[in-house]
């Protein structure tokens, strides 16, 4: 008989992310609580492009949608969560969010009152200590979190080290991604298919194309990416997404015929863009201010590009090096010259792409992620 797992995750409102839940349900009698379908824009697209119930007939778990009270991802709580916890007995309650998130403490409270026999776990990505008064406030919250949590799944090594500095035992922490990648729609494109995909995206068929997709923001290193491509010859740069730098990129595009800006698209269409590319670059750089303190926590698009057989380069920001796992594919963050040199070094080298593809197939599929989570949780249940 499979252990009963209650997974509480607002991120699983996204259709693509629920593929991890489907894989996890092979190991557990699983109930997933997520948010009701909302009406707003995500990366400039209707949220219905990302969250719908088209997967309902194939689900091997129960999905419960609850309304959120509070819109911010770390300040909301779920209306009706107590009723879910009263509905049946669970062996494990696992919530995905940051240690200070209201939903984590709401789930912890109801678990302590209604599911006393269950283990309580958290998934966290948080990988930086906050400066100033924010750090002072968060320190006791971290200590309280580790003291009242049976196990922690950390999305990167720095997150694991952070919770251990605040009291977690190393044997109670697993370092693993939150989500994997679907190999059914992320796979290398043969030459003819890639040419057709480039045509559909309005990209030149025979060019050497470097690409990025995601948020168009300063911390994603887009200034350095444009500078690096400017220093190279006979390359094109394709950028897909939306964000604060969109107007700046449009200005840069005017005198640069090699710079292509593509509008955002639903997650299920991202592989078609990635399969167009010769090289994918995530040039993120850390931000350390009171308003924003951030380093790349995983960079999920890295494993998507790697699964598509695209040579994938990343900066030294946050978790990027440990995700990519290939020293020759890493460059110092904020260094456009070093990035240009890295691109030159891989232009006629397919070995990195092949090793990254194998790394993704081994470690970063939904099944691989679910198996890692399940093995760790089963170990905790047996302890």
**For residue 308, what pLDDT band results from cuts at 50, 70 and 90?**
very high
Q: For the chain, give the mean pLDDT.
A: 95
pLDDT at 290: 83
**For residue 41, what pLDDT band results from cuts at 50, 70 and 90?**
low
313 close to 342: Cβ distance less than 8 angstroms: yes
Query: Structure pTM?
Result: 0.96
Higher pLDDT, 51 or 245: 245
pLDDT at 42: 62
Third-level CATH fold of 4-180+365-382: Rossmann fold (3.40.50)
Please provide residue 154's backbone torsions phi and psi, each rounded to the nearest 5 degrees: -100, 135
Owner of token pair 């194939």: 58
Q: What is the mean pLDDT of residues 195-213?
A: 97
Burial label, 146 (beta-carbon count in 10 A; 0-12, 13-18, 19+): buried
**What CATH class does 191-363 carry?**
alpha beta
For 342-357, write each residue's pLDDT tens digit: 999 999 888 999 999 9
Q: What single string gives the DSSP state of each residue in 327-381?
A: GGGEE-TT-HHHHHHHHHHHTT--HHHHHHHHHHHHHSBHHHHHHHHHHHHHHHH
The whole-angstrom separation of Cα 48 and Cα 215 is 19
For 2-13, write each residue's pLDDT tens digit: 999 999 999 999
Q: In this model, does residue 49 exceed pLDDT 80?
A: no
CATH 3.40.50.2000 range(s) for the chain read 4-180+365-382, 191-363
The whole-angstrom separation of Cα 330 and Cα 317 is 10
CA-wise closest residue to 311 among 233, 227, 258, 235: 235
Q: In this model, does residue 289 exceed pLDDT 90?
A: no
For 93-141, write each residue's pLDDT tens digit: 999 999 999 999 999 999 999 999 999 999 999 999 998 999 999 999 9
Q: What is the mean pLDDT of residues 221-249?
A: 97
Q: In this model, does residue 48 exceed pLDDT 70?
A: no
The whole-angstrom separation of Cα 275 and Cα 310 is 7
153 close to 176: Cβ distance less than 8 angstroms: yes
Q: What is the mean pLDDT of residues 190-203?
A: 96
The whole-angstrom separation of Cα 310 and Cα 279 is 6
CA-wise closest residue to 3 among 76, 72, 88: 88
């Amino acid at each position: 008989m499979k252990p009963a797992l209650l997974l509480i995750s607002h991120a699983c409102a996204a259709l693509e992310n629920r593929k991890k839940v489907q894989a996890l349900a092979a190991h557990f009698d699983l109930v997933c609580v997520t948010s009701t379908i909302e009406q707003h824009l995500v990366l400039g697209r209707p949220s219905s492009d990302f969250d719908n119930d088209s997967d309902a007939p194939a689900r091997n778990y129960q999905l419960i949608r609850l309304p959120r009270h509070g819109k911010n991802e770390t300040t909301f709580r779920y209306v009706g969560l107590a009723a879910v916890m009263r509905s049946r007995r669970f062996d494990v309650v696992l919530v995905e969010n940051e240690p200070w998130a209201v939903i984590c403490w709401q789930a912890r409270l109801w678990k302590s009152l209604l599911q006393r026999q269950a283990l309580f776990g958290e998934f966290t990505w948080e990988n930086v200590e906050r400066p100033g008064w924010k750090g002072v406030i968060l320190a006791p919250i971290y200590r309280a979190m580790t003291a009242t949590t049976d196990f922690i799944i950390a999305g990167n090594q720095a997150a694991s080290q952070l919770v251990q500095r605040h009291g977690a035992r190393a044997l109670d922490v697993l370092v693993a991604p939150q989500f994997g990648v679907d190999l059914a729609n992320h796979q290398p494109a043969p030459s003819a298919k890639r040419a057709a995909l480039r045509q559909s995206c309005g990209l030149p068929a025979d060019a050497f194309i470097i690409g990025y997709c995601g948020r168009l923001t300063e911390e994603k290193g887009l200034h350095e990416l444009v500078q690096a491509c400017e220093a190279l010859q006979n390359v094109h740069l394709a950028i897909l997404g939306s964000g604060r730098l969109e107007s700046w990129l449009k200005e840069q595009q005017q005198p640069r015929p090699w710079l292509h800006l593509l509008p955002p698209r639903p997650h299920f269409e991202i592989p078609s863009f990635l399969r167009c590319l010769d090289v994918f670059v995530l040039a993120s750089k850390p931000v350390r201010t009171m308003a924003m303190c951030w380093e790349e926590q995983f960079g999920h698009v890295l494993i998507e590009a790697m699964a598509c057989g695209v040579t994938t380069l990343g900066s030294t920001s946050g978790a990027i090096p440990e995700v990519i796992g290939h020293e020759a594919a890493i460059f110092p963050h904020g260094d456009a010259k070093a990035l240009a040199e890295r691109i030159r070094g891989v232009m006629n080298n397919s070995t990195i792409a092949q090793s990254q593809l194998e790394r993704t197939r081994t470690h970063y599929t939904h099944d691989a992620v679910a198996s890692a989570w399940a093995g760790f949780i089963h170990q905790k249940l047996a302890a």
